[in-house]
Amino acid sequence: MSKRKTWILSVVLIIFFAGAGIVSLGLYYAFRGSVPTVENDSVVEIAISSQIQEFPPNNPLLQMLSPQGASLWQLRNIFRRAAEDERIKAVLLEIHPLAWSWAQIEELRDQIKGFRESGKPVHALLAVDLVREPELYLASATDSVTLNPDAGFLVNGLLVEQTFFKGTMEKLGVRPEFIQFKEYKSAESYSRDSLSPAVREMLETIVADLEERFVATVSHDRNLEEGVLQEFMKLGVASADQGLELGLVDQTGYRHQVEALLAGAGEDSEYRSISGARFLKAARHGSADPAEHRAAVLAGVGAIVAGKSDPMMEVLGGVSLARQLRKLRQDDRIKGVILRVNSPGGSAVGSDMVWEEVRKLEQEGKPVVVSMSGVAGSGGYYISMGAGHLVSQPSTITGSIGVIFGKFDLSNLYQWMGISVDQVKNYPHADIFSSSRSLGSEQRKRVEDWIADLYQKFVTKAADSRRMEFEDLEEKARGRIYTGAQAKALGLVDSLGGFEVAIRELKRAMSLDEDTPLDLHLYPHPKSWWEAAFSGDLVSVIRTFRTASPLNQWTANLIRHLESPGPWLLAPELRFR
């Protein structure tokens, strides 16, 4: 390259990086904003929306684009800091229709009760047309509940529905070929038209456990007899006045009435409020110096694959999470790890990668405590079981220790569509996973042996981790899911609770007193606009939005699902209605 071309290229690069720096600096100051002022006798207002994330997105652009409000981790920090802040006198919780897991609701209930121990009240305003079990479960943890007079109650018991596609498969000429270990690890959505006796019995125990806890908890919080609440649930739909008469809410009314209540009596009384997000920003600005002892809080969230994570698609990559755990193991500043798991499982290989790194952290003297959220099933349990202590909410869906293999024979569908497939192969089993052929008897035997070996390894590792004999653990495995309370009784988890219990157990594992401060760091730490711009994260997110096509992506995922067999550690999805 000539000197003239080199000089021109250098000037262009300088201009480019200078421009990028100016833009990034502008973004930084545009979104940084001033530090909010917290007035005395303020009420922290928190709106609880339909969806919830475990942690804030690492990328600031994703934070801005995210439709959800505060994450569970941020809500924890809001309640904890508000309890300690003398300028805060109460919290107003505005509850919208929830699509949270039961365990996530229990997590927030724990934070609400911890805040109330400071002597400050929490008031719930139910911003819903119909109050269902999830909203009532959350609201009952507060000091008082207000409901719009025109709202109603749909507190009518839990329902689990499973959709079956056997008839559809037959009409399309698609033949599902699944191998399961064992009776509870079922792909019966494709092979049956109704629940098998084993799966029905499993789901009945799940529903019964959740309903019993719901009735007992709400009855206790609202000072009711359990039988009275159960009779109310038999009504199906009820009015706001009927719920008020029973004592499920304290008053029917409007937001201004709640604000007047929180303002207090007297002519000089004024309602002063600050949003949860602004309060947390102000609280962070005045944070004390970090504690001497440091631990990392790491997310294990999403369906598991063997490759890289994709936070936008809620995909947990075994390679990505294993790398993060490895970095924590090599970081001398980090003395312990809390792994927050919310995953139904997925890839056996991806799960095993993470399990190995969790185990190595424990071996090198850096304790790992797992905090289970909505679901830690199958692969989600696999990545958890290497930790020294497992903490689950009573309603966490966990277990499902088992393996399932599946492929679809599309030959009849191809024939119906006028598609023909021809093959060229040199080895007899080159077509073992072809979508245009069924498994031969010898091929099926080889796959069964492979899956049996994976199941044996999964159960063996679980038994070693839980300090059980193989036979004892295997009786509890067999692909069966449990609630956290059931898993605790069986020895599959160690404690019941959420973040606070996990932190307490980590301190114990680190040989610290319960009152010793512990500096908890989200890992990887959320980036500022400045950091994201110079690391290329902003460009990658923009590129993803520009190139992503929901229809193309859905089609590609469907084809990949139909044509790509593999061993999966997946817990069944429970849809409550």
Provide the pLDDT for residue 283: 87
Q: Predicted confidence band at 558 (pLDDT cuts at 50, 70, 90)?
A: very low
* Lowest pLDDT segment from 202-211, 386-395, 563-572: 563-572
Higher pLDDT, 52 or 2: 52
From the number of C-beta atoms within 10 Å of its C-beta (0-12, 13-18, 19+), residue 117 rates as exposed
Provide the pLDDT for residue 234: 97
Q: How far, in Å, CA of 66 to CA of 277, rounded?
A: 14
Q: Predicted confidence band at 405 (pLDDT cuts at 50, 70, 90)?
A: confident
Above 50 in pLDDT, residue 559?
no
Pairing of strands 389-392, 337-343: unpaired
Above 70 in pLDDT, residue 4?
no
Per-residue model confidence as pLDDT tens digits over 231-259: 999 999 999 999 999 999 999 999 999 99
Higher pLDDT, 553 or 186: 186
Inter-CA distances, 575 with 37, 162, 207, 209, 252, Å: 43, 8, 11, 16, 31
Q: Predicted confidence band at 57 (pLDDT cuts at 50, 70, 90)?
A: confident
Above 70 in pLDDT, residue 548?
no
Q: Coil, strand or helix: which one is 560?
A: helix
Across all residues in the chain, what is the average pLDDT? 87
The pTM (predicted TM-score) of the whole model is 0.89
Higher pLDDT, 132 or 20: 132
* Lowest pLDDT segment from 225-229, 293-297, 390-394, 566-570: 566-570
Q: Predicted confidence band at 563 (pLDDT cuts at 50, 70, 90)?
A: very low
Q: What is the dihedral of CA 171, 175, 179, 183, to 10 degrees?
A: 20
Is residue 112 within 8 Å of residue 141, measured between CB atoms?
A: yes
Spatial neighbors of 46 by CB under 8 A, at least 6 apart, are 69, 70, 75, 78, 91, 92, 93, 94, 275, 276
Tokens of 30: 């545009």
Is residue 351 within 8 Å of residue 383, measured between CB atoms?
A: yes
Residue 465 amino acid letter: S
Q: CA nearest 350: which of 313, 320, 310?
A: 320
Q: How far, in Å, CA of 413 to CA of 423, rounded?
A: 17
Spatial neighbors of 292 by CB under 8 A, at least 6 apart, are 517, 519
Per-residue model confidence as pLDDT tens digits over 424-472: 999 999 999 898 999 999 999 999 999 999 999 999 999 999 999 999 9
Q: How far, in Å, CA of 302 to CA of 345, rounded?
A: 8
Residue 94 amino acid letter: E
* Lowest pLDDT segment from 250-264, 406-420, 544-558: 544-558
Above 60 in pLDDT, residue 550?
no
Domains detected in the chain: 42-156+235-285 (3.90.226.10), 293-570 (3.90.226.10)
State which H helix or E strand residue 230 sits in: helix 226-233
Phi, psi of 550 (to 5 degrees): -55, -40
Read off the pLDDT of each residue in 34-48 and give the average, rounded to a whole number.
91
* Lowest pLDDT segment from 116-130, 448-462, 544-558: 544-558
Provide the pLDDT for residue 288: 62
Q: CA nearest 399: which of 382, 420, 422, 418?
A: 382
Above 70 in pLDDT, residue 377?
yes
Provide the pLDDT for residue 23: 54
Above 90 in pLDDT, residue 63?
no
Q: Coil, strand or helix: which one is 41?
A: coil
Residue 548 amino acid letter: A
State which H helix or E strand residue 392 sits in: strand 389-392
Spell out the alpha helix ranges (H) of 312-440: 318-330, 348-363, 379-382, 411-416
Give the HSE-up count for residue 571: Cα atoms under 13 Å, Cβ half-sphere: 32
Spatial neighbors of 194 by CB under 8 A, at least 6 apart, are 164
The conformational region for residue 446 under phi > 0 = left, psi -120 to 50 = alpha, else beta, is: alpha
Q: Predicted confidence band at 266 (pLDDT cuts at 50, 70, 90)?
A: low
Provide the pLDDT for residue 488: 98
State which H helix or E strand residue 92 sits in: strand 88-95
From the number of C-beta atoms within 10 Å of its C-beta (0-12, 13-18, 19+), residue 116 rates as middle
For residue 495, the tally of other CB atoms under 10 A from its CB is 16
Provide the pLDDT for residue 50: 87
Per-residue model confidence as pLDDT tens digits over 296-322: 999 999 999 999 998 777 899 999 999
Is residue 558 within 8 Å of residue 564, measured between CB atoms?
A: no
Q: How far, in Å, CA of 569 to CA of 305, rounded?
A: 10
Tokens of 232: 């109310």
Provide the pLDDT for residue 10: 57
Inter-CA distances, 296 with 329, 334, 335, 358, 390, Å: 10, 6, 8, 13, 16
Provide the pLDDT for residue 68: 61
Q: Predicted confidence band at 547 (pLDDT cuts at 50, 70, 90)?
A: very low
Above 50 in pLDDT, residue 269?
yes
Return the percentage of the chain with pLDDT > 70, whole number. 82
Per-residue model confidence as pLDDT tens digits over 343-357: 999 999 999 999 999
Residue entry with tokens 């599309």: 410
